[in-house]
Structure 1
Amino acid sequence: MDKTNALFERWFHEQNIERLLIISIGVFLTLLFSYYLKKVISRRVVDADNKYRSRKAVNIVSYALIVSVVLFVFSDKLGNIGIALGLAGAGIAFALQEVITSVAGWISIMTSNSIKIGQRIKVGQIIGDIIDIGVFKTTIMELGDWVEGDLYNGRITQLANSFVFKEPLQNYSADYPFLWDEITIPIRTESDFNRARKVFEEVANEVCGAYSEKSKVVWTQMTNKYRIEDADVQPLVTLTFDENWITFTIRYVVDYKKRRSTKDKLYTRFLEEIRKFDNIIMIATSSLEVSNVVIPNDTSDSPKDI
């Protein structure tokens, strides 16, 4: 029994065991503190964006504390392993270059605020809303692909944060959360095009006028920040024609998240107004002309359809 106690006491006081115990206690206390702090944040913070950022900050601080505990416990060993780390550094950097670049990308995102949670971006061929920004990866809820329009397709994609250095980043909702969109409407050449222009302008202002006013304020702020000209954000109706029909193009500003629903409202209102002007504004349709032609070499006297 005495030998067992002595062996246990010697094992317990062995230097490496002491260090492991100190690290275990430090990690446990850090995780416990982090758990209760995140619970407090969930109860006290109402805004979803602030809550997300606060919980992320707690996680980062917890990781930093754990690393600090480990470094503190093994501080007397750091001098001895400095040479080994220096020799292995080049190999580690090469093997983990994607990881290192992703961390650098995360630092760039956090310090520059180039993208934020909730913004809509396009990276390569992927379009979606950002739902999470981690140290290594950014998570996106995808739009489009097999789904028409700016609608979620249900697929969640994770991108390594290195994309900020490797891919062109297109942000739909950073400084200017509006988009320009267009609708084309063909009408028959015998239609009253002046009346049609007036009707289309009235409908466009009715549906998109509020977006124009909001976007005008934001655009003014952008002209103070960037070297950019003052754009016309009011709905614009333009006309072209050829031998087939007259084509009106309605250009308007819309919220980047309401592009499809706004287009639906516009089409609905256009049809409602066009019906009020029967035989005055007529939608053009494609037509095929079939001629009755007589073939000269044919011995038959009756013409044949071609």
Structure 2
Amino acid sequence: MDELLRFYNNPVVARVAQLVIWVLIIVLAIGFLRKLLKRRIKDATIRYKAQKGVEVVGYIMIGLLVLISFTVKNIEDYTIIIGLFTAGITFTLQELILSIAGSFYIFMVRVYKPGDRIEINGIKGDVIDIDSIYTTLMEVGEWVGSDNYSGRIVKISNAFVFKGPIKNYSMDFPFVWDELNILVTYTSDIRLAQQVVLDTASQLLSEYTENSMAKWKEMVDRYYIENATLEPTLALDLTDNWVSLNLRYITDYKSRRNTKHRLFSQIEQAISATKGKVAFASATVQLLKIPEVDINLKNQKA
């Protein structure tokens, strides 16, 4: 008991206890200010930045407080306490510590930011919030196709930025390549079909092509990457049943479904305007005539 009393009367222990109390006060103050800003600020962008600013300032204050508390002359007096305390915290809260480190890494390196579309830990969605522990996504895909929202809000630990690849659809280059297959018959005018598809795609996607050129130039200047063709391109593929015109084009990462719909609609109208020179293909079945068999039956008398 005497040793326990001496332990609690140790000035180093008292200082550590004061540090824990001040850290709790700062954490509670951060939570209170975040709620206050949420009620007072109507603009979502300003409110988000203000809340993040409060968090950053609070964590800086905690870091400075820890630094000041442990910067003393007789550090040998509480080396064991600090070591045990740090080891215990690190072991029990390793995922939390890694998540907090991940949040600093996300903001400092700009791995992604609110508004980006990312895929992390096998989950794809738009980033709607990044706090000190979790990244919140509006999920895209799953049972819903064509990059549409599923309606689910997903929270992913920031620790995953250290555990696997992060696919960002919008950082630096907010465009993606997509493909569309147009199937025409062998009796069609293939040259005319190619011209119709390319002209329609070039006219419809001219805005995306023009806007992507400046962004791609920045990519080439910044990264070790080869130049790429941004204009729509076409490739032929001959199959047993039809000629496949594979159209490759660039579009905004959030407009894949709408772009494909508009392309299909306008290409269909353009092909219909050829008045039969180009015709869409469908699966065909060839029926072969069964050869006739002449069977003569003769009665044999015993």
| TM-score using structure 1 length | 0.79
Structure 2 residue aligned with 1:261: 258
In the alignment, which of 217, 231, 236 is matched to residue 228 of structure 2?
Answer: 231
By how many angstroms is 1:91 displaced? Answer: 3.2
CA contact 1:30–1:65 (8 Å) conserved in 2? no
Structure 2 residue aligned with 1:148: 145
Q: Report Cα offsets for 1:209-242 as digits up to 9, x if no partner.
A: 1100000010011111111122110111222223
In the alignment, which of 137, 158, 166 is matched to residue 134 of structure 2?
Answer: 137
Structure 1 residue aligned with 2:109: 112
CA contact 1:183–1:249 (8 Å) conserved in 2? yes
Establish whether residue 278 from structure 1 lines up as the match of residue 259 from structure 2: no
Structure 1 residues 35 and 181: CA distance shift in structure 2, 3 A: closer
Structure 2 residue aligned with 1:38: 37
- Write the distance in 2 (CA, Å) between the matches of 1:239 and 1:65: 63
Establish whether residue 251 from structure 1 lines up as the match of residue 285 from structure 2: no
- Write the distance in 2 (CA, Å) between the matches of 1:171 and 1:23: 39
- Write the distance in 1 (CA, Å) between the matches of 2:31 and 2:104: 27
CA contact 2:143–2:150 (8 Å) conserved in 1? yes
Amino acid at match of 1:164: V
- Write the distance in 1 (CA, Å) between the matches of 2:31 and 2:126: 33
By how many angstroms is 1:273 displaced? Answer: 1.0
CA contact 2:241–2:284 (8 Å) conserved in 1? no
Q: Report Cα offsets for 1:161-186 as digits up to 9, x if no partner.
A: 11111111111000100000010011
Structure 1 residue aligned with 2:86: 89
By how many angstroms is 1:243 displaced? Answer: 3.7
By how many angstroms is 1:50 displaced? Answer: 4.6
Among the aligned pairs, what percent are the same residue? 36
SS in 2 for 1:292: coil
CA contact 2:121–2:160 (8 Å) conserved in 1? no
How many residues were matched structurally?
279
Structure 2 residue aligned with 1:169: 166
- Write the distance in 2 (CA, Å) between the matches of 1:28 and 1:131: 23
Structure 1 residues 92 and 29: CA distance shift in structure 2, 3 A: closer
Amino acid at match of 1:54: A
Establish whether residue 187 from structure 1 lines up as the match of residue 184 from structure 2: yes
Could you list the structure 1 runs, at least 4 aligned residues long, displaced by more than 6 angstroms after superposition: 26-29, 66-76
- Write the distance in 2 (CA, Å) between the matches of 1:73 and 1:63: 15
Give the aligned CA root-mean-square deviation in angstroms.
3.5
| TM-score using structure 2 length | 0.79
- Write the distance in 2 (CA, Å) between the matches of 1:227 and 1:300: 81
- Write the distance in 2 (CA, Å) between the matches of 1:171 and 1:32: 30
What residue ranges of structure 1 are gaps of 5+ in the alignment?
Answer: 1-14, 302-306
In the alignment, which of 204, 208, 228 is matched to residue 207 of structure 1?
Answer: 204
Structure 2 residue aligned with 1:54: 50
SS in 2 for 1:53: helix
